[in-house]
Structure formats: C-alpha cells, structure tokens
C-alpha cells in the first residue's frame, strides 16, 4: 500500500480544485457530458504529472487550471474544426454574459475582488480577456468579434492582464481604501 499516502493526498487535492476545474471546463465546453470527460482527463493528468510540478514556477492552483484551460480550449477548437463553424458559433453566445458569470457560485472575498478588478479594466481589455478565457476564442477571432485590429487585441489582452495582476496583487486581504 505504498500508494496510500499519494491517494489520500490526491483525494484532498481533488476536493479542493475540482470545483474550479469543472466550472471552467463547463463554461468553455457547455456540454455537461464532455465537461465531465475533460475534467476527468485533467485530474488524471494532474495525478500522472504531479511529480513534475515545480512550486518555484507558480502555484499548484495555477498549474492545474492552466492544464484544464488548455485542454478545454483544445477540445473546443478541434470540434469546431470538424463541425460546422457557423452553427457552433451560434450556440456559443457572442455576447459576454457578465451577469451569468457573476451569478454563479463563487468565493465571497476573492470573487468580489476579481469582479472589482475586472470592472477597473477598459471595456476592450475586459471583453478581450473574457472572450478568450471563458469562451476559448483565439485572438484573431476576438478581434473579428470586437471589430478591432489584431495588434490592438494582442496588446489589450496583455495590458488588461497586467492591470488585473496589479489590482489583485495590491489589494491583499480584500480591504481597500475608497
């Protein structure tokens, strides 16, 4: 039973991160059965590659959600390539449904902070980031949807994330003046 300690640790890890993983995957894929399948692939992958996680290069949380996001996006794109693109585009709403995002179960403190920081972005920064992160669009697709130039969208994604990073990083504890 050498693997006992591993399994118990993994079980704890699973309980902590899977709500985040499946929430993100569902948001991108929309299809519940596919989302479970991809979530299972992600968590099995986490188990298999846990030995290669390097704490010096980022949080465990970021490592796992990066795997999850990449997989969900790859799945959406491979299906999109196969299926009728316009039909799928219809299913995946063009509008960024911010209320729907905000309404879902979320953490009280961090959720508010993230929402406030998102609110501090320009519309173009926020829409670019959300269309890519929650819907899995590439930046050329985002540019087309928002009617903006490619270099503009690339730049807004980056400066938007930088602003988000600075906002989240400088408001530790959730208490802020003003």
Partner 1 sequence: MAEPDIHTLTGPYVLDALPADERIRFEAHLTECAFCTTEVAELREAAVKLAGQVANPPPPALKASVLAAIDHMRQLPPLVAGESGAEPPARRRFSRRSVLALAAAALAVAASGGIAIDQYRDRTDAVQATDRMTSVLAQPDARTVHGPVSGGGQATVVVSPRADAAVVVLRDLPKLPADRTWQLWMIDPGKTAHSVGLAAGDLTQVLNGSVNGMVAFGLTVEPSGGSPRPSTPAAAMISMT
Q: Under rule CB under 8 A, which residues in 41-60 are in contact with partner 1? A: 43-44, 46-55, 57-60
Two tokens, residue 73: 């996006």
What is the CB-side half-sphere exposure of residue 106 using CA atoms within 13 A? 15
Q: Does 13 bind partner 1 (CB under 8 A)?
A: yes
Q: How far is CA 39 from the centre of its chain?
A: 13
Q: Does 30 interact with partner 1 (rule: CB under 8 A)? A: no
Q: Which of 92, 115, 116, 171 binds partner 1 (CB under 8 A)?
A: 115
Closest CA to 121 of 160, 89, 147: 160
Residue 173 in contact with partner 1, rule: CB under 8 A = no
- For residue 36, state whether it binds partner 1 (rule: CB under 8 A): yes
| Binder among 64, 121, 124, 146 for partner 1 (CB under 8 A) | 64
The answer to whether 84 contacts partner 1 (rule: CB under 8 A) is no
The answer to whether 96 and 53 have CB atoms below 8 angstroms apart is no
Lookup: tokens for 60: 């465990």
Q: Are 92 and 135 in contact (CB under 8 A)?
A: yes
160 touches partner 1 (CB under 8 A): yes
| 127 near partner 1, judged by CB under 8 A | no
Interface with partner 1, residue 88, by CB under 8 A: no
């Amino acid at each position: 039973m050498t693997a006992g300690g591993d399994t118990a640790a993994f079980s704890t890890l699973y309980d902590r991160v899977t709500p985040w993983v499946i929430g993100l995957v569902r948001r991108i894929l929309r299809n519940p059965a596919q989302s479970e399948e991809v979530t299972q692939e992600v968590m099995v992958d986490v188990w298999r590659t846990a030995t290669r996680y390097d704490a010096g290069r980022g949080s465990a949380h970021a490592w796992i959600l990066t795997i999850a996001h990449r997989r969900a996006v790859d799945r959406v794109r491979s299906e999109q390539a196969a299926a009728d693109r316009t039909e799928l585009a219809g299913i995946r709403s063009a509008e960024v449904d911010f209320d729907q995002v905000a309404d879902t179960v979320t953490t009280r403190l961090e959720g508010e902070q993230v929402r406030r920081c998102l609110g501090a972005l320009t519309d173009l920064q926020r829409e670019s980031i959300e269309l890519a992160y929650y819907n899995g669009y590439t930046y050329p697709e985002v540019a087309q949807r928002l009617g903006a130039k490619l270099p503009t969208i690339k730049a807004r994604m980056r400066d938007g994330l930088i602003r988000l990073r600075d906002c989240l990083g400088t408001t530790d504890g959730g208490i802020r003046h003003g």
